[in-house]
Amino acid sequence: MPVEVLTSEELEKVVEEKLKKTLSDLQIMKRITELEASTAKLAASLNQLSTKEAKRSATDPLAAALTKDLAVLTGLVEIQGTADSVTVRLKTRLRDEDFRTVKETIIEHGGFWSSQRRVFIVPRNRTAK
């Protein structure tokens, strides 16, 4: 019985063709392309939200100062301004170092932790450093 010997290039070509055929049969490439497109769209939406948040905080000097000081952690906290204060809500449980950074920044701006509301509060009647 004769045996066919393939070179490594020929073997790679055969494997590549089989892989392409399998992927096309399973429509995985189509799904990957759709996933890449939706990921790009999501990234653009997140970028728009970040831009809107930056514009909104630019009109509020205290919120802008907090946003600037907490720039490294902006994805982990939510900064909202009201007429008499600015609140900083944690979006997720923070590592000890990150929590300490947020706490120290809030204290620098004259704020405190409200255990009842589970937010940091910086009153507007105090001046930011």
More confident residue, 63 or 74: 63
What letter represents residue 41's amino acid? K
Q: Report helix, strand or coil for 110.
A: coil
Using CA atoms, how far apart are residues 14 and 52, in angstroms rounded to an integer? 52
What letter represents residue 1's amino acid? M
How do strand 119-123 and strand 77-81 relate by DSSP bridges? unpaired
CA 110 to chain centre: 28
Q: Does pTM surpass 0.85?
A: no
Using CA atoms, how far apart are residues 39 and 44, in angstroms rounded to an integer? 9
Q: What would the pLDDT profile of 11-69 be if each residue is shown by its tens digit?
A: 999 999 998 888 777 777 778 888 999 998 988 887 777 665 555 545 678 888 888 88
Q: What would the pLDDT profile of 83-115 be if each residue is shown by its tens digit?
A: 888 899 988 888 888 888 899 999 999 999 998
Beta bridge partners of 86: 81, 122
In the chain, domain spans: 1-55, 60-129
The third-level CATH classification (topology) of the domain covering 60-129 is Gyrase A; domain 2 (3.30.1360)
Q: Check pLDDT > 70 for residue 126.
A: no
Q: What pLDDT, on a 0 to 100 scale, did the predictor assign at position 106?
A: 92
